[in-house]
Amino acid sequence: MKRFGYFFVAALALSLGGAAGAMAGDAPSVSYVDAGYFQVILEVQAGNVGTPSGFELQWMKWTDYAALGGWPADANHPSIYRSVFTGDPTLNPDPGATCWRLAPDEAIQIQVGDFFDETGLLANYTDPLRDGTDFVFRAVPLGAEAAVGSSETILAGTPRAPECTQGFWKNHFERWPAACFPMYLGTVPYTAAQILAIYNTPATGNGLISLAHQLATVKLNICNGSDPSPIMADIAAADALIGSLVIPPVGGGYIAPGVSSFLTDRLDKYNNGFLGGVANCPTKTVAGTWGALKASYR
């Protein structure tokens, strides 16, 4: 096992399913890329038969995995989190791949813990990951190519941190700093109740909504005392891009995801601790209460 900063990453020799089956070919692989307070970034690379039907990512807490002696035979076991990738990403597009359905040997990055506003997937968990927790992950191809078997299992964890994500603020309305309101997103002022309504609205391919989720979260964090210096230029750029557009469900504004995705990703990285600055957040909570009821194919 090798340590990377706050977290551990290891390729475990625990591949279940192997490469047996009617279709000859290589299983996909999963590798660690990076991690923040509430998400783990992985890369899934298809084998030499690709994943033309898409693939499923499975993960579970390391403690559950160890207690159960590995992956449960029942893929619907309550300890397993699952996301099926068959469409096209718009929130965090990977410049190396434009679709979750991979050609032979093609690779794509996945931000586990940031699925609420993502498209082209069906997940039973869309909240941020719990901080300070180790998880195991594997990829399983779909369709006929599933015969090549699943990837090896890898272990990756999140560092301990204060709660600063959109999920935290959405679930803790009572903690919102009064000094933040009215909150301007672009040139339009919003009340706290309107920001809460925006938080409750999934992006479903509208880049304005996903950008607003992260921008409002950044502003709540800064109002609460987090250091704004790593993200000030991105805040100004996001406000300029939004301009006078009124964000749903308050209004009917729209921005194409490809136009806003860079800024959305930058703000999300700040809120997840990748860029530094987020240090003063109210309290810790256990992730898992917000997006679980909102898992839908978007």
Query: What residues contact residue 289 under an 8 Å CB cut-off, 6+ apart?
Result: 127, 171
Q: What is the pLDDT of residues 139-161, one digit of tens each?
A: 999 999 999 999 999 999 988 76
Count the domains in the chain.
2
- 142 and 14 in a common domain: yes
- 137 and 11 in a common domain: yes
Number of other CB atoms surrounding residue 154 within 10 Å: 22
Structure tokens at 110: 């996945």
- 153 and 241 in a common domain: no
Q: What is the pLDDT of residues 232-279, one digit of tens each?
A: 999 999 999 999 999 999 999 999 999 999 999 999 988 888 887 765
Domain of 254, in residue numbers:
166-282
Residue ranges of the chain with pLDDT lower than 70? Answer: 1-24, 161-163, 278-298
Give CA–CA dist 286/129, Å, rounded: 9
- 203 and 114 in a common domain: no
Of 126, 157, 188, the residue at which a domain comes to its end is: 157
- 259 and 118 in a common domain: no
- 20 and 138 in a common domain: yes
Q: Would you call 67 exposed, middle or buried from its count of C-beta atoms within 10 A (0-12, 13-18, 19+)?
A: exposed
Is 76 in contact with 124 (CB distance < 8 Å)?
A: no
- 191 and 140 in a common domain: no
- Cα 50 versus chain centre, distance: 23
In a domain, 119, yes or no: yes
Is 267 in contact with 215 (CB distance < 8 Å)?
A: yes
Is 19 in contact with 25 (CB distance < 8 Å)?
A: yes
In a domain, 143, yes or no: yes
In a domain, 293, yes or no: no
pLDDT > 90 fraction of the chain, expressed in percent and rounded = 67
In a domain, 297, yes or no: no
Residue keyed to tokens 């082209």:
120
Beta-sheet strands, E only, within the chain: 2-4, 7-12, 29-35, 40-45, 55-61, 81-85, 107-112, 121-123, 134-141, 153-157, 183-185, 188-190
Q: Please tell me the pTM assigned to this model.
A: 0.66
- 172 and 45 in a common domain: no
Of 109, 130, 157, the residue at which a domain comes to its end is: 157
In a domain, 107, yes or no: yes
Q: Which amino acid is at 293?
A: L
Q: What is the pLDDT, as a whole number, of residue 21?
A: 37
- 190 and 56 in a common domain: no
